[in-house]
Amino acid sequence: MIDDMLERRRSFSEDFAWHTMIGVAKGLAFMHSGIGDPAHEPPVPDWNAIFHLDLKPCNIFFSSSGQRGRYPRVVIGDFGCSVSANDIGLGKEHPHRQPYGTPVWYPPEGHAKTRYGAETDIWQCGAITLVMCRRAKEPRHRHLESSNACGHGFGTSLSKTGEPGQVFHTMIQADA
């Protein structure tokens, strides 16, 4: 879709960017905490979190099945790089070295080999939003760290940066 928008010299609407980011965030809420509605459900006790670790536009799909409203349902796919919290805890995966993924889509901490997990997925969700809005092939760190991350033509709330919990709360509030 991004390539098509580039070719046609068009942009995604802010509503569609929000829809996509919220869809990815809700998918991550289920993978990380076992919940379907982060605004109203507590995490499932003893949930074995799954960390995708390779979120990027080509791993986000849209389906008319289960569609509500005018936009298609957002589906996260390609779990070939995923690891579980239990595998990390049991030593089957290294706790500080991301075993898989696409290096250009690693968050800053992934390049530093300090840690990975839910934070990686949340960073990648934001990076997907950025490349959609900017119609780019890959995230550019200078854009991610700017106060206008999504570029001109998008509201400031879509470009907010900060703690992942604050950003996630903003996304959920926008969906309500």
Residue with tokens 């928008």: 5
Residue-level pLDDT at 105: 87
Q: Note whether 122 and 161 are within 8 A (CB).
A: no
Q: Identify each DSSP E strand in the chain by its residue range.
A: 50-51, 60-63, 73-76, 83-84
d(CA 139, CA 160) in angstroms, rounded, equals 16
Residue-level pLDDT at 140: 79
Domain boundaries, the chain: 2-40+49-175
pTM of the model: 0.81
Residue-level pLDDT at 164: 44
Residue-level pLDDT at 74: 93
What string of pLDDT tens digits covers the 176 residues of the chain? 777 777 787 788 888 889 899 999 999 999 999 998 777 889 999 999 999 999 999 999 998 887 777 888 999 999 998 999 998 888 787 666 666 678 888 887 666 555 678 888 998 998 898 888 888 888 877 766 666 777 777 777 776 654 444 444 444 444 44
Those residues whose C-beta lies under 8 Å from the C-beta of residue 50, and which sit 6 or more positions away, are 31, 32, 79, 82, 83, 84, 85
The CATH classification of domain 2-40+49-175, taken from the options 1.10.600.10, 3.30.70.1150, 1.10.510.10, 1.10.420.10:
1.10.510.10
Taking 3-state DSSP, the helix, strand and coil percentages for the chain, each rounded to the nearest 5, stand at 45, 5, 50
Residue-level pLDDT at 114: 59
